[in-house]
Structure 1
Amino acid sequence: MNKTFFLLCILLVATTLIKAQSKFQEYFIDSTDHAIDVSGFLNAGYGFLPVPIVITEPAVGFGGGLAGIYFHGNQKERVVEEGENNFENSKNLPPVLTAVAGMYTENGTWVTMLAHQGSYLNDRLRYTGALGYMNINLTFYGAGLISEDKYAFNMKGFLTFQEFLFRPVAKLPFFTGLNYVYFNNNITFDTQIPEVEPLQDETNLGGMNIVAMWDTRNNTFTPFKGIMTATEFGIFAKALGGDNDYWNFSHRTYFYQPIVKEKLFSGYRVKFDSKWGDNVPFYELPFVSLRGIPALRYQEHNALTLETEWRWQVFKRWSAVGFVGAGFVAPKINAFDFGDPKVAGGGGFRYLIASDYGLHAGIDVAKGPEIWAWYLTIGSNWFR
């Protein structure tokens, strides 16, 4: 009896291990090249994928967190019709996903968030939405408003972002729509003087933008061909839930071009942001956004960022990346000093982690005017 029971236990354990191994092979191993690949799990569409978050942004320090990402079903093939006005975008629709996340960094910053991104009606409609609460510790460097010095501050509150884009003509990759942002923000400045209480204020932000976007990227995660260009123009106002009235203009263009077929790929980024009015909050001022430069380090009412990134496919799923960029800030559009760029650049590597989604992941190391920094990169560094 005991021997029979023991053999049954061994059989049960062996069966469980075989099933587990089978599931692991199905979800995390690509049957074509037997490499690690999470496409099978993402396509399973029955649960949240736990994704560790590694934060390396110099402005908030090192940190981490966890995100649960749910991919809503398998990728669906795009319906492509022949015609001179047609475009080559992707064999797949942009993924529909929902994510919940929480993160914490060494300087006490923490964020919780619920987000959803979706492409519907054969990509005629795109939606991006997020709800979150954040407690962020940052440094303000004056931005030409006060003396150039370091001022530590905390901002916390509820944030929501909602964007709806519609493609009027099915055969054209042109989208237009609106986005809305609201932030109930409590600001606290550390006076760094023991006898003086921290300076506190509450500033609500409420803004709406008209959006126009042209998107022929072959992939929304790690593109290597096509162009995405988007322009936003809008207003932040009391009527929209904010405390201040000011204007916003933003333009970004990301252009991707293969240089050597299946080997060398290039990317180019141009980003310009402008905010003007009588009461633009200091933390809303545009800033230079480059790897190697902390967020908010170089701020003004106008900011221009230029960057190029090149990727060399070294071996199978592995590739090497190099990048360099320059940023400029100015109080007015006609006051840019192009003789004084803020330059940052570096390199890294990528691994094709999800072939069905064209998703690459890796690590970058960058050097800016003042610091070295490293970044865990999943997908493209160029988003908004």
Structure 2
Amino acid sequence: MQKIGILLARSTFYHTISFDLYEGLRQSLKRLGRSDIKIVTENIGFGADKQQCYRSAEKLLLEENVSLVIAYIGHRTAQLLRPLFLSANKMLIVLDAGANLPQEWSASPNIFYHSLHNSLGAWLAGKQAANDGYKNGGMVTGYYDGGYLQTYSISKGFEKAGGKICFNHATGYKKEDFTMVPLKSFLKEFENPALLTLFSGDYVQWNFEELKETLNKNTPIYLSPFGFEETMLETAIHPNTKIKGVAAWSKSIENNENTLFTETIESIGRTPNLFSLLSWESAKIAIKVLDLLNNNNGNILLTAQGLHTYEFDSPRGKVKFHSKTNTSITQLYNAEIVTSEDGKCQVRIDNIISDTVEEFETMSQLELDNISSAWHNSYTCI
């Protein structure tokens, strides 16, 4: 029996993340008829301890002799694991939230990134705001979310489309330190501004709650993909202003793969979300890797070349790989957050963004001189 290893992370905001990642992979393999594949798990905490991530990956490779490893980590941790996987001649599939921009998009044949593209969605949301006619923008982030380079992509997207970042506001880390009061003075200083916001987890709910008391109805909010995470939005109060942006996925996307995914996850008593989605999709990638390794007698370079031409249908739409960066590219969606019957939030998908490959290539060529992030942990894992 072949084995697949998966490194599972923890999160204080998304308490079920490890179960979501595991069940997404398990249920997808089951649906694909691969009961001959065993999943072996290792916990990596919040993904911030480099030695723990290394030890857990090493254990899967040496003691469990897995054929490949799937891990919810970021680029920086993946690169630290690169020598280990090169030495073992094994493949690492990174489940990447896409919240950071790496200093260089190095492509090792042993590492492939399957991404939710939060930075790319942020880039497109910034462009969307400027194209909607808002030339004055304010960057609004939490202490945690603002530590990733998605802040750079959303601001550069806004500026490239003709906008100007006029003010920045970062909230506190804890609920008692979370405030939007400074925005009142900022908004008075600039004509017709838009808010470019980056939040995840409970911060999304706190953000909307505070903005309802701070904003007038004419100030729009633009979000990146994690701002559209539906399990958080279901209990968030709608701030009664226009909320737009770019979503990676929604339960309301109409295709057969999404119906199968949502119904399968719900049938085991769980709620479909971005994490179970990402690992559900990774099952197809893992099976393709195993087939390629078998056909190529374990040759990693030939296996990587085979993945570069691999495409498959997912709940998000068509998925393919960008060969220069070994990163999966899929459809993104222009979306809005509208008011539900009980005054909470729900996602409305407006249309598909079809030119994501071109936009990803443009974003990945941004110069990051003197730009860095201090966060090593997996995104949302705090």
TM-score norm. by structure 2 comes to: 0.29
Query: Going by fraction, where is helix more abundant, 1 or 2?
Result: 2
TM-score norm. by structure 1 comes to: 0.29
